[in-house]
Structure formats: structure tokens, C-alpha cells
Amino acid sequence: MKALLLKEFLLLRMYKVWFIMLIAVFGLFGIFVPYASLFIPLFLSTAMCGNTNNDEKSKWTVYSQSLPFERKEYVYAKYISAFIVALAGVVIIVVTALISSLFRNPLFDIELLFFLCAVSVGISLVPLSVYLPFSYRFNSQVGGIVLVIVYFGAMMFLPVVFLTCIMDELLGVVHTISTSLIAMAVIIAVFLLSWFISVKIYEKRDL
């Protein structure tokens, strides 16, 4: 399992230049506009999807059958690494929000922080929760098509979300911590359900 997790993170090194650029640009921009930093977990999620596509292109899924681990461990590694990446996105959001509070408001807005963390977790885990089961059931191309549809649908509502967030901030609307925690719990539940489905699919898949 440790070797599989290491493989996932080694594959992410291909995107290290993009990581540095995005953290530098959106992290800095996020200090003044907190919602801008949400593009970072979005990219992290997309990079994780790219790992699965690379596995398929390199025939890793076939080669891995000769290695001494069960099929479900391969899926476990994908989901565990995705969760770790999601946590990394949350850490970036928290650090950006803390720095932002120094410039924008001396009083730290804990409700806004929890709201941003909930959105970050959703951006990181929901796309993967959709992509991986379709990728395992069919192939990464089908999973990619479904993911694009999800992204397209989300993009249609994104302007509304950003406008709502801006209006809430201008009007002083408070995002309650309990609502954010409930949202994160629902997202994690969807993620775990996707994990369970992916394991069942991959164990029966003809490689």
C-alpha cells in the first residue's frame, strides 16, 4: 500500500511547475480575494484524475496485476491519496485565509474560513468521486467525458456562486460553522460511497 501511495505522489511531480505557479498566483491573489484560492484545490483534483489517465495509457493497470497486492489496494491508494491532496488544499486555504485576515480585517472570520474549507473539500473530492467509478467501469476517456459534463454544469452555476459570495460579504451575511460542517460531512459521505462502488467495480473488471 505504501508503495502505491508513493507512486501516486511521484506522478504528481509532473505538475510541480504548475503547482508552484498556481500557489504563487492564486495564493497571492487569494490574500485579497479569499475565493480566488479555491482554484488551487480544483487543479489538485484535476491532477489526481490525470494520474488515473496516465496509469491507463502506460498499461500500469495490467502490469500491476503481477505485483503482490490485491486489486482493492490499488483503489484504496487512489482514494487515500486523493483525500490527502484534499487536506493539502484545505491547508493552503487556511494559510491564505490567515494571511488575508492580516490585510483585510483584524478580526479573523472563522465562519468564512469554515465555508471556504467546505468548498475546498467539495472541489477536491466531488470531481474524483464522479470520475473514478466511471473510469474503472469503462475507461479514463469515459470518466473524462463525465467529468467535463460535471465541470460544465458547475461552471454554469459558478458565476451565481461567486456573486452570491460577494453579495453575502457586502451585506455581512454569516456563513454558519454548522452549515459548513454538514456540507463537508455530506461530501465525505459521497466520497466514501464512490470509494465503495469503485472497489466493487475494479475487483470485477476484466483487465
Question: Of the candidates 71, 45, 13, 70, which has an alpha carbon nearest to the alpha carbon of residue 129?
Answer: 45
Would you write out the chain's pLDDT as a tens digit for each of its 207 residues? 777 888 777 777 777 777 777 777 776 776 676 667 777 787 888 788 777 777 777 777 777 777 777 888 888 988 998 898 888 888 888 887 777 777 665 555 677 778 878 888 888 888 889 889 998 888 878 888 887 887 776 666 556 555 666 555 555 545 577 878 888 899 999 999 999 999 999 888 776
DSSP string of 30-63, one letter each residue: HHHSGGGGGHHHHHHHHHHHHHHHHHHHTTHHHH
Task: Give pLDDT, residue 190.
Answer: 92
Task: Give pLDDT, residue 58.
Answer: 75
Contact between 35 and 116 (Cβ < 8 Å): yes
pTM: 0.79
Distances in whole angstroms, Cα of residue 88 to Cα of each of 1, 94, 103, 117, 148: 20, 10, 23, 11, 24
Distances in whole angstroms, Cα of residue 201 to Cα of each of 51, 135, 136: 19, 10, 6
Task: Give pLDDT, residue 192.
Answer: 94
